[in-house]
Amino acid sequence: MLKGKSRPYTRLSSMHLTPTLQRLLDQGYDAFAHYRKPTALETSPLRNPEKLLERLTSKPLRLLEVEDVQEYAAAALTTVGTVDDYKHFLPRLLDLSVDSAVVEPEVIALKLKAADWLAWPQNQKRVVEQIFAEACGQAFRQHPDKHFANKWLVSLAILNVDLNKILIEIETSNNDFCALQLAHLILSELPFASDPFERGYWMEVPDNTLQETRTWLLSQEIRRLLLSVRWRIGSKDAGLLDRALAKQEQLVRHRHQ
């Protein structure tokens, strides 16, 4: 298996690849290595399976670029391919989801849910969850102008894993960007929309997880975090925190009515 990776398709929203995240991605390749690339693809009549397969198998797995997998990433399991096919490509899709804005972790999470991923072998479940959790933690340590961490948090919520550990890590982080990411999420109002169709990918989150996340975002602990960062951060970002604090107060009042 190739150990080096090509990263030719970079975007402003790409995430800094920490040694831990790199190690987990490598473990992902290893965990799914025995799923061989398909020799044929089952597709709907509206697709060209030969052309799609040619694009997907034109290079070694680790060298596939966003353009090679983009159509498959969106259509897998619904109109293209099987669960075993998806397991073959999953490590590269996870890799590219960290590296680009095109392969969305939320879409991967929905595909995993459709593939009944919680029934997969333990080593596969573990590495997938660890990749999502590490990517989420790393995203919260970046400025929201560069990377919106919500995409990883909602992905974990879609996967229906226990969020307590990652929420505690975010809440207790000494990184000011965590507060900015939380402010951005609160201001987006996505988890709080009464109409499910206005929640974005939060619409796909189990109701109990959604309610727990709402409670956490409106908690005094998060308010204290936003306030503590407010007094030491630059003027541009202070405005973001002020707006988030006001929005949080408004959402709390609305919840108690």
Mean pLDDT of 249-256: 90
Q: What is the pLDDT of residue 17?
A: 80
Question: Taking the model in full, what pTM does it have?
Answer: 0.91
Confidence tier at 8 by pLDDT (50, 70, 90): very low
Distance CA 228, CA 172 (A): 12
Report the run of H or E that residue 29 belongs to, with start and end: helix 19-31
Number of H helices, E strands in the chain: 12, 0
